[in-house]
Amino acid sequence: AKDFPLALTPNDPGWNDLVGIAPGPRVNATFVTLARNSDVWDIARSIRQVEDRFNRRYNYDWVFLNDKPFDSTFKKVTTSLVSGKTYYGEIAPEHWSFPEWIDQDKAKKVREDMAERKIIYGDSVSYRHMCRFESGFFFRQPLMLNYEYYWRVEPSIELYCDIHYDPFRLMVENGKKYSFVLSLYEYPATIATLWESTKKFMKNHPEHIAEDNSMKFLSDDGGETYNNCHFWSNFEIGSLEWLRSKQYIDFFESLDKDGGFFYERWGDAPVHSIAAGLMLNKSEIQFFNDIAYWHVPFTHCPTGEKTRIDLRCHCDPKENFDWRGYSCTSRFFDMNGMDKPEGWENQKD
Ligand code: GDP
Ligand code: MN
């Protein structure tokens, strides 16, 4: 028994026995989380899931961003959970404030009006800064400039299945620039003029529109109107170099000048989705059936029992949102001529 101590200490071999165990190269990539200090225990849960299901074998870094300085508890807890290196960045005020061309009175009236109409986050200033930051600035924070790919993780998410390959490598080796697990319709009241702004951009910058784009995913009438379909951006694995490209920055700046982040309540999900849909080729957008995910209130539980058993999933397939009426994922499959996974008909409603 003396060769087998009752308990290991952090200095014993074996304490970190899974760290770095996955063979093969790594991508120049990082996890990224925007959070407040008060999110610490909710992000701790998310990190635990990501580590258990994937990162303890891969040890990618994790960048945390905040409009205020992170406190020592936040840093201590998250660093203890992440198997890669952790970095903490404070967002510059110009990336988290009203640009000078925004009419404050007009923006305030909108918030009051949206509050009365009970539009979710309609009265919030900070939510608008968050959406604008995620749309236009997270990928050009100094800490993010060190990386080529990112995986966005929010507080209080779940991962229900093992991930036995490196999604970053899948992205790189298959030429993918953007990815999703859930898609749905946006609340029209939050984006009343987003498509008008998009059309103006398309007219001014026809050179940025991809030939083999996903307009069919975004519009049912060849681009006249937006059908509100978007990829849910609280989960994203994507290319930072694409977001830092002239195309994407031109698009963001054009939208930002139009003011809809403040005069309406444009979300980063429709902004990223419209950008990906119009400026990437269809083949550059990836749907991950095998990454099982929950963010309140929707679940992506892989279709196909074999997948769920092989990957030791713990989600209820009845909860899967993919093939329900309010999901846009069916459209994505149809547009790409993809076969739906076996068993999808049983999950329609
Ligand atoms: P929802 O998913 O649209 O309901 O919005 P969340 O409340 O989850 O916010 C989206 C992301 O932004 C999460 O990662 C939050 O932690 C983060 N976030 C939201 N508001 C703020 C804020 O005021 N400051 C900071 N630092 N992070 C925020
Ligand atoms: Mn969230």
Q: How would you write the pLDDT of the chain (349 residues) with one tens digit per residue?
A: 567 777 788 888 777 777 778 889 999 999 999 999 999 999 999 999 999 999 999 999 999 999 999 999 999 999 999 999 999 999 999 999 999 999 999 999 999 999 999 999 999 999 999 999 999 999 999 999 999 999 999 999 999 999 989 999 999 999 999 999 999 999 999 999 999 999 999 999 999 999 999 999 999 999 999 999 999 999 999 999 999 999 999 999 999 999 999 999 999 999 999 999 999 999 999 999 999 999 999 999 999 999 999 999 999 999 999 999 999 999 999 999 999 988 898 877 6
Give the model's pLDDT for residue 301.
97
Our measurement of the distance from residue 195's CA atom to the centroid of its chain's CA atoms, rounded to an integer in Å, reads 21
Give CA–CA dist 150/159, Å, rounded. Answer: 17
> Strand 298-300 vs strand 178-180: parallel, antiparallel, or unpaired?
unpaired
Give the model's pLDDT for residue 20.
76
ipTM of the complex as predicted: 0.99
User: Which one-letter DSSP state was computed for residue 28?
Assistant: S
Give the model's pLDDT for residue 349.
60
User: Which one-letter DSSP state was computed for residue 143?
Assistant: G
- Write the CA distances from 260 to 64, 95, 129, 131, 193, integer angstroms: 27, 16, 12, 11, 7
| Mean of the per-residue pLDDT values of the chain | 96
Ligand 2 midpoint to CA 9 (Å): 36
Give the model's pLDDT for residue 66.
98
Ligand 2 midpoint to CA 32 (Å): 14
Give the model's pLDDT for residue 148.
98
- DSSP string of 231-250? E-TTSEEEEHHHHTSHHHHH
Give the model's pLDDT for residue 1.
59
Ligand 1 atom 24, closest CA: 36
Site to probe by mutation for ligand 1, drawn from 31, 33, 36 as the one with most ligand atoms within 8 Å of Cβ, is 36
Say which ligand is closest to the CA of 269: 1
Say which ligand is closest to the CA of 34: 1
Q: Encode pLDDT of 258-317 as tens digits.
A: 999 999 999 999 999 999 999 999 999 999 999 999 999 999 999 999 999 999 999 999
Q: Encode pLDDT of 237-274 as tens digits.
A: 999 999 999 999 999 999 999 999 999 999 999 999 99
Q: What tokens were used for 121?
A: 């986050």
Give the model's pLDDT for residue 314.
98
Residues with CB under 5 A from ligand 2 (ion): 154, 234
Closest CA to 32 of 173, 149, 153: 153
Site to probe by mutation for ligand 1, drawn from 32, 34, 40 as the one with most ligand atoms within 8 Å of Cβ, is 34
Ligand 2 midpoint to CA 208 (Å): 30
> Strand 183-185 vs strand 229-231: parallel, antiparallel, or unpaired?
antiparallel
* Ligand 1 pocket check for 80: Cβ under 6 Å: no
* Ligand 1 pocket check for 34: Cβ under 6 Å: yes
Give the model's pLDDT for residue 170.
98
- Cβ burial 226-263 (10 Å sphere, 16+ → b, else e): bbbbbbbbbbbbbbbebbebebbebbbebbbebbbbbb
* Ligand 1 pocket check for 157: Cβ under 6 Å: no
Angle formed at CA 76 by CA 71 and CA 79, multiple of 5 degrees: 120
* Residue 88 bridge partners (DSSP): 64
Ligand 1 atom 15, closest CA: 35
